[in-house]
Every structure is written in structure tokens, then in C-alpha cells.
Structure 1
Amino acid sequence: MLSEALLVSAPGKVILHGEHAVVHGKVALAAALNLRTFLLLRPQSNGKVSVNLPNIGIKQVWDVGMLQRLDTSFLGLSPTCLFARVTEQGDVSVPTLEQLEKLKKMGDLPRDRAGNEGMALLAFLYLYLAICRKQRTLPSLDMVVWSELPPGAGLGSSAAYSVCLAAALLTACEEVSNPLKDGVSVSRWPEEDLKSINKWAFEGERVIHGNPSGVDNAVSTWGGALRFQQGTMSSLKR
């Protein structure tokens, strides 16, 4: 388990071409923005897990012991590189509305949190339980997420949020390497770890949006400019 604080960030995106056609298997061209979402994860020993989203005025705290006792067998999905299956066959088992409603009740999410606010909390809880349940004990941690990206503006704010969540939780649970472990102040995950981060970020996007194309989280994970078609991504060098 991570013993030190970790600060991660991910960029927003703009789709230059094919924003709606991409869901029908057409080419989309997208590029990262110089506006970012930031996440600070601090390990705790107080038996609590908390998420603070100051941009939208949300703070939620859970008791780790309570979450540990939940029956989360319905979260048994392991993300795989299935973007092509999503776009071509549509047979990937996306979390159902019933499952998400069950998770809302089990996680005691506030009833007055609707829309983007409620989905942000739900995505966090889903990824926290799904990623960290391999641990003998769920980790106690404090997480603060803030952003330069306005929500609902088509700039990939939810994707950047999901990428930050996935990267931080995977690093905390040692599912991917910690690029800062050698004392460097700024670093980047290796390619294989970025693939894992992207897959889990896509799961977070599915919780928030239902059936996303995968473009937003891919750009937010790798940055730069990407060509995306039927789940296949390639970086644009020019």
C-alpha cells in the first residue's frame, strides 16, 4: 500500500473531427488541452476513506469497515481492452442501472446529490471498491480532486476525473508502478501501466455516461493527439 502522498493530473480534450460519428465506427481525431484535473491522494490510518471535490462543493466520508462488509460480488468485472467490442457488438456487460442503484444505497450516497455531483461520487466508489478489493483490507485514504475544466462543456472533465481516480487508486494498491518512487518530482507511467489506467478510467466513464466511445479517457491518459476508430488508437506525430 502507498505510504506517501501522491499528486496526479490528467488533461482535458477537444475532439477535432468525428465527435458523434465515432460511435458508429468512424474515425475521430482528438487532442489534449492545456487545462487539467488534479488529484491529491494521502494515505490515512483513521479507518476512513474520503473524497473532496471542491469545484462542485462535495465531500463524502465512508467508514472503511462498513465498506469492507459490503457484498460487492456484482463488481466482479475486470476491465479488458474491449473498446472494439463495445462499438462493434455492444455485448460488453456495462454496469446496469440496478447495480448502480444498489451501489448508491450500499454506499449511503446522499439522496440530494443528483446529476454530475452524484455520478462523480458513484464513479469514485465504484472504482475504489473494484480496484482495491484485492487488498486484504480496503485502504484508508483521503482524496482531493480539483479541476481547471468546466463540467458539461464537452472538454472531457469526467474523463480526466476518471483517469486521475484510476491512476491514483491503481498506484495506491500497487497494481501499477509508482513513477515517483525514485525521488523524482514529475514523471509518467510506462506504456503498460497507462493501458491499465486507461482501461479502469473507461470503467469510470461507463458509470458516469453509460456507453462512452473511449475517446475522452484515451486522450486524457496519453495526451497529445490521437486517431481513434473502433477501439484502435494511434498517436498523431504531426
Structure 2
Amino acid sequence: MICSRAPAKVILFGEHFVVKGKPAIATAVDLYAETCIEESEDYIVESKQLGLKFSIFGTSIPPSLLQFRKAAELVMNLAGSTRGFHAVVDSEIPVAAGMGSSASTIVSFIHALLSFYGFKPELSLVNKMAFEAEKIVHGKPSGIDNIVATYGGTLYYKKGQIERLDVKWPRSLSIVVVDTGVKRSTKSIVREVLDLYEAHPSIMSKLYDVAEELVNEARRRLVEGDFTSLGQLININQGLLSAIGVSSREIEEIVYRLRSLGAIGSKLSGAGRGGVVYGVFTDLNKDLLKKVYRNYTVYLVKPINEGVHHRIL
């Protein structure tokens, strides 16, 4: 049996704006999706998290999981093999919440499947295949989710170019991720934001330019280790996301609750309108988090440097 796992991500800065070529910064965090593969007569994917089991090339595959078929086709065409497999996929990453669950899952699947067919899973190939598979679900993804799941670390991303940032995250720093429990379609929200841009191009283009300047400033502050300024920039970024219509009353309530508990900065992460909100704490009082736990699922995570990798059994 071959097992691969890939990390979740938190977009620290720049979501939505990347679709128009602006930069973003994201970091891998220590929540994982994992795929374990063994030989079989059929081509089966079993999702423990979703409670589903289906044949990749059968008619019963849910439309939301068609990326597995695309990924399998890409790997099998490269391998020139029709050897059957049974892939068991499990994940501790919340689904449709802005932490890249779909990308992390498909990255782990491709990494394991390449190994199953005898390839050394080069990260650039894994990333390329994952991006193609993600298009099936998300239409026009930015690519940042699969990049973070593949490479790990804290990454500056612009127009497909990746810069790995040398960030010395303090040991005392924690990221608190709050899942609103509200599921939403990334594809439809991205489309609505683009429609808003087309309706008000002169105004929206200025907001996008401000977002670019903010991300570039955040990159500098991260590398310098200026986390006080980083928190201020996170809060400004939340304001920009609210301006383009992807925040919500519930998100704003969580954002301000985290700040009242001592977060140096807090904002939504991902498509918005639900999903997750994160807060960065440099000195976290875990007892205070009970005030958040009452109503939401909360994850306490750390930034990590490693991307997709084999898990030794």
C-alpha cells in the first residue's frame, strides 16, 4: 500500500484578486488530506470523510468529484497502464470551507497514484496535473490551492510564478481557524466578483491595485518578522474583501470576536460568504477560545514548510 498526504492552506492575503493577476500569499498548515492506494480489479475511490465509494469510470460518480476521473486519466495516460486500484481518501480538512480541501485531496491522490504506477512523483508534475483536475470543479481556479498543497511553506504567488518566502514563524505564534459551517460554491462567488468588476471597472481596478500593494507590503513584513504590522495588514485586507462583496454578517462577527480575544489580525480566507475565518495570535490564551468553541468548529494550526509527501507505514 502507498500513502501520500498533502497539507491544507490558509490564504493570508490576496484571495479573489489573484484571478485578475494580482499577487497572493498563502501558507501550508498542519491539517492533512491523505490517499492510500492498493491494487484492485476496478478503479475505486473511497472517501471516508464524505462516506462515499465509487468507480472512477462508472456512471455513479458525483459531479463534484469528477476531478478524480480527470486526475486518474492524466496519470494513467502518462503511465500507459490500465492497472486497477482502490484508493482510500481521508481528510481532516473541512470541506468547501476555504482551506483547499479539494486541492489537498487531489494532490495527495495524484502523488500516491504516480507512485502506484511506478513514477517518482516530481512536485512540478503533481502540481500541473492537480491544476488541470481542479478546473473540472472550480472552472477558473487561481492555482494557489494546489501549489500550496504540493510545495508547502509560505508562498508568494503571482500569475503562476511562485516565490517561497523565508519566514521565521515564532514558536509562540498560532493561527486559529474558525469554520462558519456555511458551505458555498467557490466557482459561483468568483464569477460574481468578476461580474462586479465588469460592472464598475474604474472603481474595482483601484481596489485591485491597493490589494497588490498590500500583498507586496505583507511579503516584506513577513520576511522581516514584523508581525505587528502583519496583523494590521490582515485587517486591511479584510476590509477590501468586504468591499468586493465576499464577506457576510456572520464572518464579520467572527472577525471581531477573534480580535477582541487578542488576535493581531483576522480575516476570512478563501472564497468568502462562509467557509473559514482565521485569526493570528502571538500569545494565545487557549481558555479564551472557549468563547468561540461554543458555536463553531475551531482548528488551532501552525504554519509548516513541507508539502505533499509519502507517509511511511
Structure 2: gaps of 5 or more residues: 168-313
Over aligned residues, Cα RMSD in angstroms? 1.6
Q: Is the 8 A contact 1:50 1:59 kept in 2?
A: yes
Q: Is the 8 A contact 1:52 1:145 kept in 2?
A: yes
Pick the structure with more helix per residue: 2
CA displacement 1:84-112 (0-9 Å, x = unmatched) = xxxxxxxxxxxxxxxxxxxxxxx33328x
The alignment-based identity, stated in percent, is: 35
Asked whether 1:36 is paired with 2:43, we answer no
Asked whether 1:10 is paired with 2:6, we answer yes
Asked whether 1:52 is paired with 2:46, we answer yes
Structure 1 segments, 4+ long, off by >3 Å, are 134-137
Distance 2:42 2:26 in 1: 39
CA displacement 1:141-194 (0-9 Å, x = unmatched) = 1100010011011000001011012111222223335xxxxxxxxxxxxxxx11
Which residue of 108, 126, 145 corresponds with 1:164?
A: 108
| Relative contact order higher in (CA < 8 Å, ≥ 6 apart) | 1
Q: 1:232 to 1:34 in 2, by over 3 A?
A: same
TM-score by length of 1: 0.66
Distance 1:134 1:228 in 2: 28
Distance 1:136 1:20 in 2: 38
Q: Which residue number in structure 1 is paired with residue 284 of structure 2?
A: none
Q: Which residue number in structure 2 is paired with residue 213 of structure 1?
A: 142
Matches within 5 A, 1:128-147: 128-147=72-91
Q: Which residue number in structure 2 is paired with residue 195 of structure 1?
A: 124
Q: Is the 8 A contact 1:166 1:200 kept in 2?
A: yes
Q: 1:230 to 1:6 in 2, by over 3 A?
A: same
Q: How many residues align?
A: 167
Structure 1: gaps of 5 or more residues: 63-106, 178-192
Aligned residue type for 1:119: S
Q: Is the 8 A contact 1:13 1:219 kept in 2?
A: yes
Which residue of 137, 141, 152 corresponds with 1:223?
A: 152
CA displacement 1:105-158 (0-9 Å, x = unmatched) = xx33328x4xxxx322x1111211222034454011110001001101100000
Distance 1:220 1:133 in 2: 23
Q: Is the 8 A contact 1:165 1:201 kept in 2?
A: no
Q: Give the deviation of 1:204 after TM superposition.
A: 1.4
Distance 2:42 2:163 in 1: 41
Distance 2:156 2:78 in 1: 34
TM-score by length of 2: 0.51
* 1:217 aligned counterpart, secondary structure: helix
Q: Which residue number in structure 2 is paired with residue 108 of structure 1?
A: 58
Q: Give the deviation of 1:230 after TM superposition.
A: 0.6
Aligned residue type for 2:89: V
Bigger CA radius of gyration: 2
Aligned residue type for 2:88: V
Q: Which residue number in structure 1 is paired with residue 21 of structure 2?
A: 25
Aligned residue type for 2:138: H
Q: Is the 8 A contact 1:162 1:202 kept in 2?
A: no
Matches within 5 A, 1:177-188: none
CA displacement 1:15-60 (0-9 Å, x = unmatched) = 111101111111100001111001111123xx21211002111101
Q: 1:134 to 1:27 in 2, by over 3 A?
A: closer
* 2:49 aligned counterpart, secondary structure: helix
Distance 1:108 1:61 in 2: 5
Q: Is the 8 A contact 1:11 1:34 kept in 2?
A: yes
Distance 1:41 1:31 in 2: 27
Q: Is the 8 A contact 1:41 1:168 kept in 2?
A: yes
